[in-house]
Amino acid sequence: MRIIKKIFGKTSRPQLEGGIFFESIQQILGFAPGNLRYYKKAFTHRSSNILDENGSPINYERLEFLGDAMLGSVIAAHLYKEAPSGDEGYLTKMRSKIVSREHLNELGRDLNLIQFVESKVPPQHFGENIHGNIFEALIGAIFLDKGYSFCEKFIHEKVIIPYVDIAKLEGKVISYKSLVIEWCQKEKLHFHFDVFDDNGNDGQKYFGVRLSINNKVVAKSRATSKKKAEEIAAKRAYFAFQEKINKN
């Protein structure tokens, strides 16, 4: 395994070298970074197998945890201020919509953060969630480097101002599966997701899903993960029963 000096010295990714990395990060942040080590760590994938002087791994996962907490805090404060009539359940649901994995992935893609990732894994093998993971890690790096006020300002400029429209978010569905399950439970309907392997001719592993309601198959789907396949099947079921579901 490589040691800490190598990631902060010469790297296999030319855009991470010295001034180029500094300029690129400064453009994204909107301010000059102080300690570049935090930001380089935010873009280090665990596959790089880098250790610090204490033998602890250097990658973005701990920063991702920190950034998630900072993001949730700033968004919660914003919603508390902007939705004074919303109760706890409403505020929690709205925050979930803003910090959903789908939305965070969108934010990471829009900033093209993946270009900075240091990894032994080819980019095409990254999972979709890496975009959101790195975005959260970047927020964590900002907090450690500059403190809460800079972190808050970055979230306002990159998340709240361009993306947070409370009126639109109220009607946004973040989980069709949850909607369908909630409807079935309320109407005392029996539902079941039948998941099975569905390997394609291209060698990629897929999962097939059949969603049954009261022992009748109402939707089918196919995706590269069980979770995605279930969500797609639930979405199709939702639109099939949309009129009935929305009456509740």
Between CA 96 and CA 180 the distance in angstroms is 18
Q: Which of 61, 82, 136, 170 does the annotation list as catalytic?
A: 136
Between CA 72 and CA 86 the distance in angstroms is 17
Q: Answer yes or no: 197 catalytic.
A: no
Between CA 110 and CA 247 the distance in angstroms is 36
Which residue positions form the known binding site for Mg(2+)? Answer: 64, 133, 136
Closest CA to 136 of 153, 151, 118: 151
Q: Which of 68, 118, 152, 231 does the annotation list as catalytic?
A: 68
Q: Answer yes or no: 145 catalytic.
A: no
Catalytically active residues, by annotation: 68, 136
